[in-house]
Amino acid sequence: MPSKSKITAPGAAAKPQAGRTPPRHTSERTAATRAAPAPLPSAIGAPFPKPSDLADRVGTGMAAFENIIVPTAAQRTAMRQMDSLRIMGLHQPEGQQRRAYRYLHQSGTGKSTCAKILRNHVEAQDGRDPTKKPVLHVTLSTTGTPKSLASSILDALGDNYSTRGEAELLLRRVRMALKELSVEILIIDELNHFRLKSLQKDAANTIKNILSMGWVPVVLMGTTDAQSLFVDNRELKNRCAPQMVLAPYDYRDVEGDLAAWTELLGDLDTQMADRDILRCRSGLDDEELAIALCRASNGVIGELHNILLAALEQVLLADEPSISHRRLAEAVDAWCMQDGTIDRNYVKLIPRK
């Protein structure tokens, strides 16, 4: 017959069971006798979205933001310059020396966006063959060798064997592919990847030969680190037009830069609402906020893009209707303050309205 359990009188200490070590400390005794917590209710208020639904909403919204292209006045000017260079090449006889433009500025000023705008513009023209590449945008590999220049061009042309062979052989294949795919202008991006002086000399001579032999006009893009290519190779510099400027915006230039910057913010704000990324506008073109964002990003479009993207992610996660002052301030903290690009959060200095 099973033994009956013993009942401890009120106030009396329970004897430890045989074979079990009693808790030594008060906190352990409390934890041992504490009742298990009650289960949380299955839903509090509105049901929380499934992780997959939330990820889809956030990912879709961020991708839609990345696809927004709002060209600035400076970018439109640069695009017209590049398109004029392309058309000039079309009216020159084969083999005649071609010209080049160079855009060498700090990262994030919108150089690569200019290339995308031009490519989209030309490819959308009536009668274009979709299998051709009239505007070839090439991003140099980080190895920064003359061979990698040819390989990067072949890779952008869709060559599956872009790294096989010596530099001279690869350049002959580049020449054939440029003609076969009807390339009208070659845009070489990240020119600053040619770091070593010995490599810079060989790369500059290769680009100079492409122009001298009349293959195709060239646009050269990179950071200011690439300036030495032209300082050390006067012949290449003489084949280029004067340096084109895509400078950061200065909030102190009220009539010029600040007005253009505020217009850019307003256009981005409208696009996010029109594309249903957000349910309403966020007031990004408010004058005080525009100045604060210009100072926080150092007037660099790429920095602004990253601030807005960081804020947008949190807004989409919380299913908020627009980007609030608080979300922008948090994004500046996360993106700029932690990286040390600024020493104060200018968005937080704006008085709350």
Would you state the pLDDT for residue 211? 95
The arithmetic mean of pLDDT across residues 108-129, rounded, is 92
Would you state the pLDDT for residue 195? 64
Least confident of 40-54, 83-97, 138-152, 335-349: 40-54
263-308 confidence digits (pLDDT tens):
999 999 999 999 999 999 999 999 999 999 999 999 999 999 999 9
Q: Which residues contact 246 (CB under 8 A, 6 or more apart)?
A: 74, 75, 78, 103, 105, 109, 110, 111, 114
Q: Which of 68-72, 76-80, 343-347 has the highest mean pLDDT?
A: 343-347
Name the β-bridge partners of 137.
187
Burial of residue 147, with CB atoms counted within 10 A of its CB: 0-12 exposed, 13-18 middle, 19 or more buried: buried
Would you state the pLDDT for residue 186? 97
The arithmetic mean of pLDDT across residues 158-183, rounded, is 91
The arithmetic mean of pLDDT across residues 177-202, rounded, is 85
Would you state the pLDDT for residue 98? 96
CA dihedral 87, 90, 96, 101 (to 10 degrees): 30
Counting residues of the chain whose pLDDT is more than 90, the rounded percentage is 59
Please provide the DSSP assignment of 210-279 as one string: HHHTTS--EEEEE-GGGGHHHHS-HHHHHTBPSPP--PPP-TT-IIIIIHHHHHHHHHHHHHHHHTTSSS
Confidence at 175, pLDDT banded by 50, 70, 90: very high
SS3 207: helix
SS3 137: strand
Residue 20 has pLDDT above 70, yes or no: no
Task: Please answer whether residues 72 and 266 qualify as being in contact, where contact means their C-beta atoms are separated by less than 8 angstroms.
Answer: no
Amino acid letter, residue 81: Q
Would you state the pLDDT for residue 199? 66
Would you state the pLDDT for residue 120? 92
The arithmetic mean of pLDDT across residues 136-140, rounded, is 93
What's the longest Cα–Cα distance across the chain? 111
Q: Which of 270, 266, 268 is nearest to 285 (CA)?
A: 266
95: alpha, beta or left? (left if phi > 0; alpha if psi -120 to 50):
left
Helix (H) or strand (E) holding 90: helix 73-90
Separation of alpha carbons 61 and 57, rounded Å: 6
253 or 34: which carries more pLDDT confidence?
A: 253
Domains of the chain: 73-238 (3.40.50.300), 249-337 (no CATH)
Counting residues of the chain whose pLDDT is more than 70, the rounded percentage is 84
Burial of residue 190, with CB atoms counted within 10 A of its CB: 0-12 exposed, 13-18 middle, 19 or more buried: buried
Helix (H) or strand (E) holding 147: helix 146-156
Average pLDDT, rounded, for the chain? 85
Beta carbons within 10 angstroms of residue 236's beta carbon: 23
198-249 confidence digits (pLDDT tens):
667 788 888 999 999 999 999 999 888 888 888 878 888 899 988 777 889 9
Task: Please answer whether residues 331 and 308 qualify as being in contact, where contact means their C-beta atoms are separated by less than 8 angstroms.
Answer: yes
Confidence at 47, pLDDT banded by 50, 70, 90: low
> In whole angstroms, how far apart are CA 81 and each of 115, 152, 244, 297, 330?
11, 24, 9, 27, 39
The arithmetic mean of pLDDT across residues 38-53, rounded, is 56
Asked whether the CA dihedral 343, 349, 350, 352 is positive or negative, the reply is: positive
Question: Where in 14-87 does DSSP place strands (E)?
Answer: none
Confidence at 196, pLDDT banded by 50, 70, 90: low
Q: Which residues contact 350 (CB under 8 A, 6 or more apart)?
A: 288, 289, 292, 325
pTM score: 0.77
SS3 189: strand
